[in-house]
Amino acid sequence: MSLLTIIFNILLPPLAVFLKHGIGTTFLVSVLLTLLAWLPGVIHAFIVNG
C-alpha cells in the first residue's frame, strides 16, 4: 500500500476505494459508511484496499 493510498484512505475513503475498484458495490458501501460516520468509511477503505 502506497503512502498516497493511505492518505486517501484517511481523508477521502470513497475516492481511495474508487481508484482501486471503480464504481460498484464496494464503492457504494464506502460512500454510505462515510456519510453515516467518517470512521467506518475509513475502516472499510483500509480493509478493501489492504
First-to-final CA distance of the chain:
7
pLDDT of residue 8: 93
* Domains of the chain, residue spans: 3-49
**DSSP structure class, residue 12:** -
Residue of 21, 18, 29 whose CA lies nearest to 8: 18
Give the pLDDT confidence of 1-50 residue by residue, as tens digits. Answer: 789 999 999 999 999 999 999 999 999 999 999 999 999 999 999 999 98
For residue 29, the tally of other CB atoms under 10 A from its CB is 16
Predicted pLDDT at 37: 92
Question: Would you state the pLDDT for residue 50?
Answer: 84
pLDDT of residue 1: 75
